[in-house]
Structure 1
Amino acid sequence: MSDLSDYEAYLEDGFNAVDFANGLVLSTNNSDDTELDLLTPLKRLNFDLKDLDRKIKQSVDTNYAECICEFESLDKFAGTVSELEPALKQLNLSYSRLDREILTPYNECNRIHSALKKIHQTSTLLRSSIYFLFLISKIEEIDKTDQGLSKRPFKNVNLLAKLQNQLTLHLADSSYMKSLKLVRDYEEFQPALYTKSLDICCSNFKAFNIDQYDNQSMLNIINALIYLSPEAFFNQLQQLISSKTTLSVNLISRNLNNVRSLDRIFTEVSKQGKLMSRLDNLMNNNDWVGSKTDEQITGQAIWDAVGTKLDLNSPLVTVFWRDVATGIEPRFKEVMSKGGPTARQLKSSKEDITSSIKRSLLNSFDDSSKKEDRIELTLMLNAIHSLDSYHRG
């Protein structure tokens, strides 16, 4: 190969003919000259051209065989390109048609789809926000009247609990709304509102009695508790059954030495039984109001959910009288086994006590259910069978 080291400037990637010519002119002229000498740089360029022509001729003469092979290869490549040209033209036409009829419309559709998606997201966010604001306004309207929440028949507290339940579900289904400051502000305020509502419901549930709470009041408290926390409702119901039973057993036990007061005491106990009977009717005649998260019990009567959760095979009134009977039986046995004046009085008053139990127990049921063959009556009468076992010492 010819030595081209003298021509490295021409072979550089950044070679610029104008800059090179300018530099050549400057190198062959003096700033003191009054005339510009262009012949000298031209002579140098001509010399370089002649030298390169000589080197090329010398290289071809020396490497003619390789050159011939290269020319033949070029001819073959040219022939191959000529053969492929029709196919390439057809391919270009096909691609142009594909681009025109498929790719361009597809890209346009993608842009439109992206725009529609953003519009849909914005629309969904706006609709969700409007519903959120609607629920919030209703909640604030009710929450402003604190006294109204504790006012019977507890319509407001039930509605407030329902709205909170709806809002909780709405936010759970629309997690993207948590990016809104309004939603974040509500989430800071929500626990206090929830606690206040739950406290009102629980305190009134514990205080249920037939003299002060009508059916609608009790149903509203029950539904509000279910909206707020089904678990809290089940716990409150268990505690209510237990507390009313314990209260009744203790009331009877404390008055065994005062036989004359037992008729009044059993009348009081009857009120607790009547409360249980009312709760049975309410829960059997009203559906569970829980949300769609309570799929297993939604659509059932409240009692169905209670029976399943608390594993109850009998109505509350039956559970109540059964537990009262179980509680007072050992108390009667203890008094009768000690003997003395109290045992004698109880023994002599057996018929009156039996009559008081029958009247009080049956009064805790609806008229259609007042039958003397009820299992609850049998259990209560069996609880005082120790009155027959007293013997004078």
Structure 2
Amino acid sequence: MATNEDEDASYVDYEAFLDPSFSPSSFANSLVLATNNPNDTPLDLSTPLSKVLFDSQEVDSHIDLLTTRSAIPLLTYTKEQTDASGRIISEVDNQVKSLNESYKQLEKEVIQKHAEADEVRQVAARLWQTLKLGRSVGRCLQLGRQLEIQHTEITNSGTSTTGSGNRKEDHRALVRCAHTLLSLREVLDKKAPGEEGHGLDRVNAIKSLQDSVITPIERSVRNTSDQIVREFSIGSASGTSTFAQSEEAKARIISAAVTLYLLSPVSSTKPDKWTPQLLLQSLEVYLRNALQSSIASLARSLATLPSLDRTLAEASARCQNIIALEIILATTNAPTHPLLPVHKHAASDKSNLLQPLLTYLETGSLASYFWRTMASSLATRVQEIVNRGGVSARTLKTNRNSVGEAIRECVIRGSQPPSTITATKGKALKGDTEKSGSWDREVAVMVSAVVGNLGR
């Protein structure tokens, strides 16, 4: 009996079915090929199907036999597992109840208090943000009021007059206004979260401050500084200013230059590429006006020689003013700009207000720039006079030697600093021979621009 059971049990190829690489499709294919000729059409599938069904019945019978024989052990095992699960569930229920009670206690003692504390934290954080914003607004309004007072110092002093009837403003207030404007700019430009100026653009008081105070006063300060630069003069063709007048003009131009230097924008360029744009533009306009006036008047005088001496004297006086300006800028250190990085400050401390202008104009001297630029324009004007012909051209050609000598004297005279500014430069005046020696190229360029274009 046992032998038959073993044979029945071994009839099914369990190893084939338990093989990890078992494939139902491959097994079915092998059964079909084993019971059929591959060339037969159609194939007989009843035999392999019967084989599979028979194996299934064998497995089912074997399962039934095993469960019948082992019913009591299985039921006993199941009862033991069920009893064990019941005991576990009972213990777990007790633990869950204890855990729920602990959670309720924790929720009462910690979570609710944490929620209340978090509300307090949020309120405190918003109060702190409001306080910071209020401080920033207060600082801006205080600086705005300070700016109004400083600007009033300029305009009020501008209403007084000197004995000669000229308006006299407190030019030092321009620098004070510039520093206040930079302080305001430092706050208002820091708009990133966490920075001092964050949220100020949404405050109506700040918008009104910018529209009604900051912008108009900054425009006024810039215009006043530009006007001081445009009107800078140490002397004229009729004579040189007194020492006191020269010192006043020097102080005014320094205040205006420093103001324009400080107010030059810094946000649009990299720190290492920064230049004082407002100062350079104002100085360039001053030089251009001096050149245009000199070129226009000298072109007219070359056509009417009787007025040439006076015109040359005016041109030399303009160049002397430019040299005086060059000396003043060279001896004035560039101020520390609070909105530039520290390394830029260090570079500025070793620089002066002249160096950026020379770099911008690509020249080594303002006087040389003045004469060479004038010469390049005069050559065309002289050629026009010659091409028109007439009395003016003949007179100019006839007096070419005296005209050339007058131009030479004009360049030499105009290339010397005014007597009231010489001490500032730190050098004593040299003899006429030494003076003319350093300006031979400018003399040659100017004389050639006029005499060299007259032909024969």
TM-score (ref. length: structure 1):
0.64
**What is the SS of the residue equivalent to 2:416?**
helix
Does residue 1:170 correspond to 2:187, yes or no? yes
Deviation of 1:80 (Å): 1.6
Separation of aligned partners in 2, 1:294 and 1:312 = 26
Separation of aligned partners in 2, 1:95 and 1:373 = 100
Deviation of 1:245 (Å): 1.0
Matches within 5 A, 1:189-204: 189=212, 190-204=214-228
Separation of aligned partners in 2, 1:209 and 1:126 = 48
Q: Which runs of 5+ in 1 are unaligned?
A: 1-69
**What is the SS of the residue equivalent to 1:292?**
coil
RMSD: 4.5
Does residue 1:378 correspond to 2:441, yes or no? yes
What do the CA deviations read for 1:29-59 (whole angstroms, capped 9, x no partner)? xxxxxxxxxxxxxxxxxxxxxxxxxxxxxxx
Deviation of 1:72 (Å): 9.0
Does residue 1:343 correspond to 2:397, yes or no? yes
CA contact (8 A) 2:171 2:255 kept: yes
Separation of aligned partners in 1, 2:324 and 2:417 = 12
2:86 equivalent in structure 1 = 78
Q: 1:148 aligns with which of 147, 153, 157?
A: 157
What do the CA deviations read for 1:123-145 (whole angstroms, capped 9, x no partner)? 42343233223212212223445
What do the CA deviations read for 1:47-105 (whole angstroms, capped 9, x no partner)? xxxxxxxxxxxxxxxxxxxxxxx999975543122454797699789989998999899
**What is the SS of the residue equivalent to 1:214?**
helix
2:25 equivalent in structure 1 = none
Deviation of 1:372 (Å): 3.1
CA contact (8 A) 2:280 2:356 kept: no
2:353 equivalent in structure 1 = 302
Identity of aligned residues (%): 18
CA contact (8 A) 2:297 2:311 kept: yes
Q: Which runs of 5+ in 2 are unaligned?
A: 1-77, 159-166, 191-196, 236-244, 266-276
CA contact (8 A) 2:368 2:442 kept: no
Assess, with a 3 A threshold, how the Cα gap between structure 1 residues 82 and 163 changes in structure 2: closer, same or farther: same
Q: 2:334 aligns with which of 284, 287, 302?
A: 287
Separation of aligned partners in 2, 1:188 and 1:349 = 57
Separation of aligned partners in 1, 2:172 and 2:210 = 24
Deviation of 1:217 (Å): 0.6
Does residue 1:357 correspond to 2:421, yes or no? no
CA contact (8 A) 1:204 1:221 kept: yes
What do the CA deviations read for 1:301-356 (whole angstroms, capped 9, x no partner)? 33344455x35242333211221222334445666785523322232454454234
Assess, with a 3 A threshold, how the Cα gap between structure 1 residues 390 and 201 changes in structure 2: closer, same or farther: closer
Separation of aligned partners in 2, 1:270 and 1:248 = 9
Deviation of 1:148 (Å): 3.0
2:259 equivalent in structure 1 = 224
1:242 equivalent in structure 2 = 288
2:146 equivalent in structure 1 = 138
**Structure 2 residue identity aligned to 1:220:** S
CA contact (8 A) 1:206 1:236 kept: yes
**Structure 2 residue identity aligned to 1:159:** R
Does residue 1:317 correspond to 2:367, yes or no? yes
Q: 1:265 aligns with which of 311, 326, 334?
A: 311
CA contact (8 A) 1:259 1:346 kept: no
**What is the SS of the residue equivalent to 1:302?**
coil
CA contact (8 A) 1:288 1:297 kept: no
What do the CA deviations read for 1:179-229 (whole angstroms, capped 9, x no partner)? 443223212314333333333333333322224761111122223333444
Assess, with a 3 A threshold, how the Cα gap between structure 1 residues 255 and 144 changes in structure 2: closer, same or farther: same
Separation of aligned partners in 1, 2:126 and 2:372 = 64
Matches within 5 A, 1:44-193: 75-82=83-90, 84=92, 114=122, 117-144=125-152, 146-148=155-157, 151-152=168-169, 154-173=171-190, 174-189=197-212, 190-193=214-217
Assess, with a 3 A threshold, how the Cα gap between structure 1 residues 169 and 362 changes in structure 2: closer, same or farther: same
Deviation of 1:246 (Å): 1.5
What do the CA deviations read for 1:139-185 (whole angstroms, capped 9, x no partner)? 22234453435734522233223323321321222132344432232
Bigger drift between 95-104 and 260-269 goes to 95-104
2:301 equivalent in structure 1 = 255
Separation of aligned partners in 1, 2:301 and 2:112 = 95
- Paired residue total: 323
Assess, with a 3 A threshold, how the Cα gap between structure 1 residues 355 and 112 changes in structure 2: closer, same or farther: same
